[in-house]
Structure 1
Amino acid sequence: MEAEEVLDLQDVLRRLAFDAVCKVSLGYDPCCLDLSKPVPPLVKAFDTASEISAMRGMAPMIVVWKLKRALNIGSEKKLKEAIDLVHGCVLEIIRNKKKALEEAKAKSAAARGGEDLLSRLLSAGHDGDVVRDMVISFIMAGRDTTSSAMTWLFWLLSKHENAEKMLVKEVESMLGNGRNGLDFETLKEMNFVKACICESMRLYPPVAWDSKHALDDDVLPDGTFVGKGDRVTYFPYGMGRMEALWGKDWFEFEPDRWFQEPGAENGLLKPVSPFKFPVFQAGPRVCLGKEMAFIQMKYVVASILKKFEIRPVNREQPVFVPLLTGHMAGGLNVLVKRRELK
């Protein structure tokens, strides 16, 4: 890539995230990053199901979508078709994986299953709809969340060149210390990259709002009574913009706020309560894939920015669309060119 090229970075990151989560969960590569191939039906079905499900949650009158579902018309008909397609595709992959594991075991009693989640679940004796639902939940949790976080991060870095320079400097210094590429230990030590990711998710959380339903009567720490069956909604997007939580400069992209000492970009990150920064939820329901998500995002961001400069074509403020996962309306069209080596 010698000359500048324009691409929709949000689309590329979503394709990458879907390929990655399918490899980890299913041991299957849908090849979404291969632009010479059409988008797989499984991807389109996930998109359709996610969008319509999100619209359900924001509907002012639930009776409307429930009536559509009863009559099997409109968006509810599309949702049913999308869910059936997702279930069918995943069950077919499960059948093929189970067959492959059985054949491998028949050849050698000592044969080990694959490293993907599906192989581990099947080897542990799980089967049927339980495995299907667990795998689908894993894909849903990881497919758009990381891509959303990285999309907004690249846009924010394009507006804050000093932060981008410091990020690139950290990556280059890590790789210049005799390290063996972006391995796990190197990625763990990239504190400024992590601070930038956290700051981006504070302002533009991948999940803008979420809800839980109470299993029993309870009382919140502030004395609020919650009855059995009540729906409790929290709002990470709003919490990330509260002056009471983040100070008068809450509206600023300031990675420095994540360090123990101001200006210590190479210092230690300070612990922040997940109840203050609930982008990965908190307590017993905290996201199990949190650390994997950070490692994946660090790897992608570092890999791209050490080689390329990313500049948005449109300098206007993008629109944040809070569906099941928040995304950027219209995508993120950027100019990409090789970074000049110094």
Structure 2
Amino acid sequence: MTSLKKSQHPYLQTAGLIAGGTSLVLAALAYKYPNRPIFSDCRDDILTADALPLLGMTPAIFKHRQTIHDYFASLIDRFDEMTGTGVGIGIPRVILTIDPRNIDHILRLKFENYIKGPIVDDAAGDLLGHGIFNADGEVWRYQRKAASHIFNIKNFRDNFTKVFLRNLKSMNTDVIDVAAQTKLPLDLHSAIHKYTLDSFLELSFGISLEDMTDEDKTKFVTSFDACQRNVIQRILNPAYRVTESLEGWLMPWKTSMKQHLDIVNKFAFGVVEQRRLELANGGEYTDLLSRFMGAKNHRDQSLGDKELRDVVLNFVVAGRDTTAQSISWTLYELFCNPGVKYKLLAEIKETITDEMETNAAEMYEAVKGMKYANAVFREALRLHPPVPANAKVALQDDVWPDGTQIKKNDYIILTPFGQGKSQDLWGEDAEQFKPERWFTKEGALRSEPPSKWNIFNAGRQVLGTTVALITISSLLRRYDFKLAPDQEITYQVAMTLPMKNGMKVYVKQRK
């Protein structure tokens, strides 16, 4: 790759110097994708990545599109600084930072100046609409406030935990026990995703996948996952509208993104319509959808069907995916580090009883007090953050604490994935799985500032943390897992951090 240097502009400064077909291609891109500028001003004050003439970093992005989080992490390492920039054809000026001072500035001190922006909205809008995962400003603030009243500690401890414990018991009986009896390899990653999807659909829509036919269930889950994976590929591909159309012509047998989205929408709007009828007929429900039906939006209006669909699908994405993947990556690290696993198992045996697993409140409080389990989970999230990258765009010029000059419309990438790998932040053993780093010398559980450990978006907790600890504790109490040989465990590029090929394990029941 091209070595890094202070920014030599990767593009010719005037369109007149670009000849023939190249000029036509660039003009077409500029017209078709106005939110992806073809040209960008020189930025001599920031280190620039892969600054090829004219093409900039576009070839590198294309080459690493399936491992983009590692690519961003490698850029930070090559910058030998915590902030750098890059630009390419159809790719706006992007400034990448892992500096905790900058992250605190962006996500807290100057939060109003940084929004998700038109490129993210263009790529994710048809799936996420204006739900919390994709919203900005007043819309985001309203949804977060409304959700905080629903997902309060008491409600989560006493009511929601019951749903997860019940679905966890079903997964153990119907899936993991069967794998132990047959001695066949089990895709544990897939099983956990189904368990969390069942739980979050029940909490969000008030339904269970068991209420759906096998055909409808398969269609919805397949399309839901396909749409999510496609969002990031759209962001990385400035000509995604063209390539998606070409796929339809060249591979007519393949389900298109439009068809996947139609399946998701049919399900979501169908549930919204059914719930309106049930509530009108005097039914009482406590799920997220029903609660939002009685709420007002940021304009003090009742929510329409599209707003309800956006709100609930976003919480399914935010809850089901991040929870399932956090559990999966934590278990993977435990399988690869038996010393840590046995130490955690000892704490689980000392703390958790069979009776607790039938009492949601007791189980909730028990796992909260397990120091080593919490350290293990934090360490797993450091190396495998459930949301590995966060894109923003600057509304106005700004100056970051490290001195970086930010201009209006600059795109910002925060990479918790790269931050967790940084030796500058975590020491020379940054890439090692060491839960002990989360303890002080006195043995207390260490709290790192959210600007350094940017897992929960500068302090906003995800709902699935306690659920993950309950699930992991319950699984390790009952089963001994062993990774199946000859498999590659790696991530798939998506909005979150799923395992690309799943995680196959052999299961034995503990005596």
TM-score range, shorter chain: 0.7 to 0.9
- Normalising by structure 1, report the TM-score: 0.84
Kindly provide the amino acid, as one letter, of the partner of residue 309 in structure 1. Answer: D
**Cα distance in 2 for residues equivalent to 1:177 and 1:41:** 37
2:226 to 28, 34, 48: 48
Alignment of 1:225-244 (within 5 A): 225-244=405-424
Structure 1: 5+ residue stretches without partners: 106-112
The aligned counterpart of 1:25 is: 204
**Contact 2:230-2:494 within 8 A present in 1 as well:** no
For the residues of structure 1 that align with 2:290 and 2:480, how far apart are their CA atoms? 39
Tell me the equivalent position of 1:293.
464
Specify the alignment match of 2:447 in structure 1: 271
Call closer, same or farther: CA 1:121–1:73 in 2, change over 3 Å: same
Query: Of the two, which has the highest radius of gyration?
Result: 2
Answer yes or no: is the 8 Å Cα contact 2:321–2:496 preserved in 1: yes
1:90 is aligned to: 268
Q: 1:140 aligns with which of 314, 317, 334?
A: 317
* 1:321 correspondence with 2:499: no
Report if the CA contact (8 A) 1:30-1:40 is conserved: no
Matches within 5 A, 1:49-88: 49-59=227-237, 62=238, 64-68=239-243, 73=248, 78-88=256-266
CA offset at residue 94 of structure 1? 0.8
SS where residue 213 of structure 1 aligns? Answer: strand
The alpha carbon displacement at 1:214 in A equals 2.1
2:79 corresponds to: none
Of the three residues 285, 310, 314, the one matched with 2:481 is 310
- Compared with structure 1, are the counterparts of its residues 175 and 150 closer, same or farther at alpha carbon in structure 2 (3 Å cutoff)? closer
Q: Secondary structure at the match of 2:281?
A: helix
Q: Deviations 1:121-150 (Å, cap 9, x if unpaired)?
A: 012243321111111111121222221222
Over residues 1-35 of structure 1, what are the superposed CA-to-partner deviations in whole Å (9 max), with x where a residue is unaligned? 46444200011011112112111111111139x9x
Q: How does 1:87-166 map to 2 (within 5 A)?
A: 87-104=265-282, 113-124=284-295, 125-166=302-343
| 2:394/2:407 contact within 8 Å kept | yes
- Among candidates 247, 254, 257, match of residue 427 of structure 2: 247
SS of residue in 1 equivalent to 2:391 = strand
- In 2: Cα distance, 1:301 partner to 1:247 partner: 28
Distance 2:383 2:311 in 1: 30
Q: 1:321 aligns to what SS in structure 2?
A: coil
The answer (yes or no) to whether the contact 1:170–1:192 under 8 Å persists in 2 is yes
In 2: Cα distance, 1:94 partner to 1:273 partner: 40
Distance 1:68 1:177 in 2: 54
Following superposition, the deviation at residue 308 of structure 1 comes to: 0.5
Residue 201, structure 1, aligned to residue 381, structure 2: yes
Partner of residue 108, structure 1: none
Give 3-state SS (helix, strand or coil) of 1:322's partner. Answer: coil
> Does the C-alpha gap of structure 1 residues 217 and 72 become closer, same or farther in structure 2, counting only changes over 3 Å?
farther
Larger mean Cα displacement after TM superposition, 213-222 or 189-198: 213-222
Q: 1:28 to 1:240 in 2, by over 3 A?
A: same
CA distance in 1, matches of 2:492, 2:247: 27
- More divergent stretch after superposition (296-305 vs 163-172): 163-172
Q: 1:174 aligns with which of 326, 332, 351?
A: 351
Note the C-alpha offset of 1:220. 1.9
Aligned-pair RMSD on alpha carbons? 2.7
Deviations 1:75-133 (A, max 9, x none): 9982222222212211110111121112126xxxxxxx422111110122433211111
Partner letter of residue 203 of structure 1? L
Deviation for aligned residue 1:69: 6.0
Quick one: distance in 1 between partners of 2:221 and 2:353?
A: 39
Q: How far off is 1:301 after superposition?
A: 0.6
Contact 2:223 2:260 in 1 (8 A): yes
Structure 2-normalised TM-score?
0.58
Task: Using the aligned pairs only, state the percent identity.
Answer: 26
How far does residue 71 in structure 1 lie from its aligned partner after superposition? 7.8
Change (3 A) 1:216 1:30: farther
**C-alpha separation in 1, matches of 2:486 and 2:446:** 33
- Aligned equivalent of 1:280: 456
Partners of 1:137 and 1:247 lie apart in 2 by 36
Deviations 1:166-210 (A, max 9, x none): 222222212259857552211221222221111111112222222
> For 2:500 and 2:377, how far apart are their aligned partners in 1?
20
- The alignment partner of 1:309 has SS state of strand
What's the offset of the Cα at 1:317? 5.9
User: One-letter code of the match for 2:468?
Assistant: M
Answer with 149-158 or 76-85: which moved more: 76-85
Q: State the SS of the aligned residue for 1:326.
A: coil
Corresponding residue pairs, total: 319
State how far apart, in whole Å, the 1-side matches of 2:328 and 2:210 are. 20
Which secondary structure does the structure 2 equivalent of 1:337 belong to? strand
Contact 2:425 2:452 (C-alpha < 8 Å) held by counterparts: yes
Which residue in 2 is equivalent to 1:13?
192
Aligned partners of 1:154 and 1:310 also within 8 Å? no
